[in-house]
Amino acid sequence: MSLLALHNINKTFGPLKALTDLSFEIGHSEVVGLLGDNGAGKSTTVNMLSGIHRPSSGYISVDGKRCDFTCRRDSAEAGIETIYQNTALVDCLSISRNIFLGRELTDRFGFLDLKRMREIAMQVLESAVHISGIDSPDKLVGDLSGGQKQAVAIARAVFFKRRVLLLDEPTSALSVRETEALLQQVLKLKDEGVSSVLVTHNLYHAYQVCDRFVIMSHGTKVFDVAKAETTIEELTQHVVLT
Amino acid sequence: MTAIVDHRSGAPRRSAAQLVHGLLSMPAGAILLVFVVVQLACIIAGLLFPDDFRYLSPQNMGIMMRSVPVLGCLALGAGLLMIAGEFDLSIGSVYTFTAVVMAVLVGNGIDAFIAAPIGLMIGAAIGLLNGALTLRFNLPSFIVTLGGLLFWRGAVLLFNGAVQVRFDPNPVFNEMFSGTILGINAAFVWFILLCLVFWALLHRHRFGNHVFATGGNRSAATAIGVNTNRIKLAAFAIAGFMAAFAGILATTRVGSVQPGQGAGLELQAIAACVIGGLSLRGGRGSILGVFLGVMLIFTITDVLLLMRAPGFYLDMFIATLIVLASIFNHGLDRRGASI
């Protein structure tokens, strides 16, 4: 049974048809590359999976059970974490406050348990995410590099035991070395049972880590293939020609 | 031997430099430094020339403590709202309006302990209205509350005409808001208490974390699951509430309300916040900064008065301070962004 599945999803924004009859699945411990040119509907798909948009028709299922996400919190509860292009972090807050943003550890009256938040943040950053240069959870996120920011976002997903990571163009703002580290991180998480959806333009990055590829064009799926049965040339052709 | 001496003299100097550097990179560090320097200078001058510069005289201290809390309370509310990324220009008018309502209610025989909470509720409700209009129609709060400034200024005249209202509360109420507690002015005690409450709320509570996130990066905060609209609404309500509270303090102190008394206070409150290191774009600042910003405005005003400078110097000095502070803060913002 698939972990996460889209069933015949249509989405319209007024007169604009963004998605047409889109269906695909994400399995357990699987890295899926969601590919396609600009305007293919990749970001709309990600927003729908993370609960920001609702499908006009069709539905999403988690573990075979239909789920209607009405907001970000719903998808988070289903175990989905989205890591955005320009990562959803607040520059003016510290790393530990960012990791726990929206899910703060507090006492009964809502006061923050800063000490525990700091300890856990440091622990997660040391054990789960290996990106150099972060030595204190009190550093402001605004002072970090692009790769370090992604690392913080991933640390957040790891700590909250997410089952699916949606990575929307994660490598576009990263240096070569940071990209490499991020892709390794995705593979490491796969070994731990976390699936990922890698949304990207960059077929080479996708080919490096993905088990399966879903290619979209004009709001619908045009190609769905396992890595073993395809080549990077064939993928390029589908992205360019459809 | 010389090497050891060199080492010893070098170490503290380096750590002092580090201390200054650390202080300057703190949100309110620079203003704290300026504040301490100004205070020390005033105290030394006060000790050296006790007759010419009466900074340390009990009368002067008393005047300071009585005049700080009104602007201070307005600035606390305005500052929290600024950190959440919005403005409220209407707080000066709301301050007058709620005070007039409260004074008229008391004049009609209603107990001050009932009238004051009604004033506070009206303040919070006006804040909520500002917030609802801003968020519902996706307008800049600057415009919405500019409307609020004019509207409630007019409403004061509509409600009670252009006459002064006497405020004669019961003695207990009077003692609570304008008496003295342990030799300290009660209004000042309220201000300090509220500073502590705001500090806890903003820097140690979940709400504050969400306020910073909302002002710092609204789309990120929304994506993570913070209800940014609710946070902004709450911040607007708090700003209105604090305006009404400032109204209570001012009215109790003076014993009457002038219909035009709040004009310009909203800008002074924002000025205090800017001096205290709050960013106009939101997401940056601290309660310590707001406190020091308010204190600095009054210290400088006080010094100029003690030196018998003509009144227009006050505005010019504060204007210079605002511009210098924002140049400095802008530098910090840019440095943060470039890393």
Tell whether B1 is within 8 A of chain A (Cβ): no
Q: Which of residues 179-218 of B touch A (CB under 8 A)?
A: 200, 204-207, 209-210, 212-213, 215-217
The pLDDT value given to residue B1:
39
Residue B11 lies in a domain: no
* CB contact (8 A) between residue A89 and residue B220: yes
B300, two tokens: 């400088």
Amino acid occupying residue A79: G
Which candidate from B216, B219, B225 shows the least CB-CB separation from A91? B216
The pLDDT value given to residue B4:
42
d(CA A52, CA B116): 43
Q: A139-156, pLDDT tens digit by residue? A: 888 888 877 887 788 788
Is A58 in the same domain as A113? no
Residue B178 lies in a domain: yes
Note down the domain range covering A143: 90-160
Is A168 in the same domain as A74? yes
Residue A84 lies in a domain: no
Q: How many residues does chain A have?
A: 242
Is A149 in the same domain as A42? no
Confidence of residue A86 (pLDDT cuts 50, 70, 90): low
Which candidate from A82, A114, A140 shows the least CB-CB separation from B223? A82
Residues of B whose CB is below 8 A from A96: none
Q: A25-54, pLDDT tens digit by residue? A: 899 989 999 988 888 888 889 888 888 888
Note down the domain range covering B242: 32-39+60-329
The pLDDT value given to residue B2:
41
Domain count of the fold of chain A:
2
For residue A39, what is the domain's CATH number? 3.40.50.300
For residue B322, what is the domain's CATH number? 1.10.3470
Is A94 in the same domain as A198? no
Dihedral of the alpha carbons of A114, B275, B338, A186, in degrees to the nearest 10: 20
Is A31 in the same domain as A140? no
Long-range Cβ pairs for the range B44-53 (8 Å, 24+): B53/B306, B53/B307
* Contacts with B266 (C-beta within 8 Å, 6 or more apart), sequence order: B74, B78, B88, B89, B90, B91, B92, B93, B149
Residue B6 lies in a domain: no
**What's the predicted TM-score (pTM) here?**
0.82
* CB contact (8 A) between residue B213 and residue A93: yes
**CA of B82 to nearest chain A CA: how many angstroms apart?**
14
Tell whether A91 is within 8 A of chain B (Cβ): yes
Strand partners, B150: none
Name which of B26, B205, B207, B209 to mutate to probe chain A: the one with the most chain A Cβ atoms within 10 A of its Cβ.
B209
* Residues in chain B where the model's pLDDT stays below 70: 1-14, 22-27, 330-339
Domain count of the fold of chain B:
1
Is A176 in the same domain as A205? yes
* CB contact (8 A) between residue B225 and residue A87: no
Q: A192-240, pLDDT tens digit by residue? A: 888 999 998 888 888 889 999 999 888 888 888 888 888 888 888 888 8
Q: B267-281, pLDDT tens digit by residue? A: 999 999 998 888 888
Is A97 in the same domain as A118? yes
d(CA B118, CA B108): 14
Confidence of residue A172 (pLDDT cuts 50, 70, 90): confident
Residue B199 lies in a domain: yes
DSSP assignments along chain A, one per residue: --SEEEEEEEEEETTEEEEEEEEEEE-TT-EEEEE--TTSSHHHHHHHHTTSS--SEEEEEETTEEE---SHHHHHHTTEEEE-SS-S--TTSBHHHHHTTTS--B-TTSBB-HHHHHHHHHHHHHHT---TT---TTSBGGGS-HHHHHHHHHHHHHHTT-SEEEEESTTTT--HHHHHHHHHHHHHHHHTT-EEEEEES-HHHHHHH-SEEEEEETTEEEEEEEGGG--HHHHHHHHHH-
